[in-house]
Structures are given as structure tokens and as C-alpha cells.
Amino acid sequence: MWGGRFATGPDAIMEEINASIDFDKRLWRQDIRGSLAHAAMLEATGILTGEDVAAITAGLKAVEADIEAERFTFSRALEDVHMNIENDLKERIGPAAGRLHTARSRNDQVATDMRLWVRDTLDQIDEQMADLQLALAEKALAHAGSVMPGFTHLQSAQPVTFGHHLLAYVEMLSRDRGRVRDARARLNECPLGAAALAGTSFPIDRHMTAQALGFDRPTANSLDSVSDRDFVLETLAAASICAMHLSRLAEEIVLWATPQFGFVRLSDSFSTGSSIMPQKRNPDAAELVRGKAGRVFGALQAMLTMMKGLPLTYSKDMQEDKEGTFDALQTLSLCLAAMAGMVRDMEPDLKAMKRAAGLGYATATDLADWLVRVLKMPFRDAHHVTGKLVGIASAKGVGLEKLSLEEMQAVEPQITEAIFAVLGVTQSVRSRTSHGGTAPANVGRQARRWLAQLRKARG
């Protein structure tokens, strides 16, 4: 393709480091779409004849059919997906194939292909995020009133409901989807026609190709068009944040599935055994989601490092944008699917969760709030009184609700029998009626709102 300038071919090592076909062949659908749009534009502007474009179009569709049917052989000697397709097209239709590259370069071609691939993949990932949200919201509605411990510092803090806990991840995923959609909107400009870096002297119609490929508009600056990869960076950043959220939920499932917690049970579908310990049920799917987050983070860091020292415009370093991006988004897609499966699969142990919700004096704040609300005590004073009562209960090895009224009144004489109404975990969660709180009525409303929204979007 560039042999006219060179007297000899590349060294074997040069060929090895230079070839990208092993991974960029994934772009073949996008490459053919871009070429079909480019050819149609070249005919519309009179740059190519209708006869040539008809041959090119038929040839590209034949190449597409062969690749789809796995009858196409990609050659490393031809370096990349663009030249593999162009070479095969030439063998099919002859010299007209060489005219397809008029008014474009591999620089704007690959930038267009990557935008198309990332856009297609973001649409798929957005659907998977929505499916995980749906799984979480369905489970949340079923367990809007199921009490479990809420934690800070991984210590029992206050009772919450299992449904409320799951809806927290629905909210996280909503923001993840917002980032994905923002990234998609910003990348949706077409670089095709920027050529190598300076544009072209041919009278092309970049708006036509942009429209044909579903872009909002052509990119505005030819230098930026071929050297920009921040759409990949933004995508990987959004993917990394989502992977972090999935990892947090995976970590909780790992903890919840231990005998020490005993909050949930995963079926055989999402568990594995041990080669030596026959009693083991390992939550390997959750552990792998947790572990694979690092691969997504790594792709973002590698991309930032690769781009940070590149002057305008294109440099071969930018070939490194593909493998990490392909792997990261494929990994995220797999993790989303696995997590949706686990959420639908896991069965909570309601008795174990409720029992644990009362440990660690989790209703102490309810006691303090009662002192403020009923006795009009300043909160700091109520905090002090409650701390003393917790100390007494701890010394006796009992829960707050097991202290006698006399023991409580010895600390604060104004306390009445009514205090015992707020010391149960069920009463505690029912009382948290503030907007966004864990009261079962709140959780039910939020779960139904999310389900209606998600199901409507799904159609």
C-alpha cells in the first residue's frame, strides 16, 4: 500500500509490531459501513462515476457476506482491517476498488470506525445497565420491608431494608447510564473526510456521510478529527466508574454469602465448589466481577498514558487505543450480565438479616431521636444519655430493648414506657420516612417508580 517509497519490505520484527489485524478486524462491520457511505457520497458529488460506485457497493456487500459467513481470510501481511477489505475488494472488482480511497485516509477511516464501534457498544452496555437496574428494582420491591443491618465502617449502624439497599445500586447505575449517554452524545460527530490531517481538495460532502452513518454532524477541525481519542477516554472513564459500582455490589454479595453473615444464598448457577473441601460453596461469579474491575481501570490508565505525550496529529501510538478498549468494554458487558444473573438468582435469608439488624445496638439512634422528639432534649445531651445506656446494656450483654424501664430511668428519669416502641428494628425502619429514607412505604414507591420507568423504556 505504501511500497512506492520503499525499496525493500519491512523486517519481520517490524511487521510483527506494526500489524494490527489480529485485533482491529473486530471493526470490519464499521469499516464496511463507512466505506459504503463514502462511496455513495463520492458518486453524489460527481467524484466517482455511478458505474464505479455500483461495482464498489456490490463488492463491499459481497465482502461483508463472506466475513459474516466466516469465509474471509484476514492476512497479517496486509497490516490492518482497512487494507484487508480493500485488497479483497480489488480482487473482486478490479481497478475501481482503488478509487474508493479517494478523498480519505486511513487516519480518518479508523477514527470513524472507532467512533461507530464505541457508539454501537455503548448502546448495548446501556441496555445491559437497564436490565441490571430492572433486576435490582424487582428484588427491591419484593423486599421493600425486609429488615437488614445498615453499615458504616462495616460496623452495624442502623437498620435498613434489603429493598432500600438494592435501590442504592439502581441509583448508581442510573448515573452510570447518564455518563454512557453523555459520552455517546459527545462522540457522535463524523471524522470521515478529514483525510490524513488537513482535509481534502476534492468537493466532498461531509454532511452527507455524517448523516448516512447516523452522526449528528461532521467534526469541525480536521486536525482534531484524526488525533482525537478523548471519546475513548470518556467511555473508559464511564466504564471504570460502572465497574467500580459492580465491584462494590460483588464485594457485598461475597460477604453476604459467607456463613458468618448468612444473608443470601446463591444457587449452583453462580457458585462453584472446592477441589479439596466438599462443603464449600464459593461465590466465584461475584469474586470475578470484583477482580475484573481492575482490567477496566487498567485500560483507562493505559489510554491516558499513551495519549498524554502525543503532538497533533496522528501517531502510530494511537493504534494502542483498540485492544484495551475492546477488552474493557467486553469485560464490563460480561460483568453486567453476570451481576444481573446473580441479583435475580440470590435468595435472602430474612430471619438472619433481621436478627443481624438488631446487633451492635443499631437502634441507639432511634433512642436518641426519641429523647429529642418527646423529651425536647438537645441532641448532644440525648447522644450522651444514649451512650450511657448502650454502655450499661453492653456490660450486661443484652440489647437496649432488654434493659428495664428502671435501669433507663436511673440514667434519665424522664424516660417512659413509650421508649420501647422505638427500640425494635421493624419500628426503626418504619420511622425513617424522610425523602430517600428506608421506610418500607418509601422503598415500595421508589421501586415501583423505577420499574414503571424501566419497563416503559424497554417497551
Could you give the residue numbers annotated as active site? 153, 274
- Please answer whether residues 102 and 48 qualify as being in contact, where contact means their C-beta atoms are separated by less than 8 angstroms: yes
Closest CA to 239 of 300, 291, 288, 318: 300
160 has which bridge partners?
Answer: 148
DSSP letter assigned to residue 190:
E
Q: Which amino acid is at 32?
A: I
CA dihedral 321, 324, 329, 335 (to 10 degrees): -170
Which of helix, strand or coil describes residue 157?
strand
CA angle (111, 114, 118) in 5-degree steps? 140
Closest of 68, 62, 138 to residue 93, by C-alpha: 62
Neighbouring CB atoms inside 10 A of 417's CB total: 8
Dihedral sign from CA coordinates of 48, 54, 57, 62: negative
Angle 314-24-173 from CA coordinates, rounded to 5°: 90
In angstroms, the Cα distances linking 426 to 54, 64, 351, 432 are 73, 62, 12, 11
CA dist., res. 137 & res. 149, Å (int) = 19
Q: Residue 359 in contact with residue 155, Cβ under 8 Å? A: no
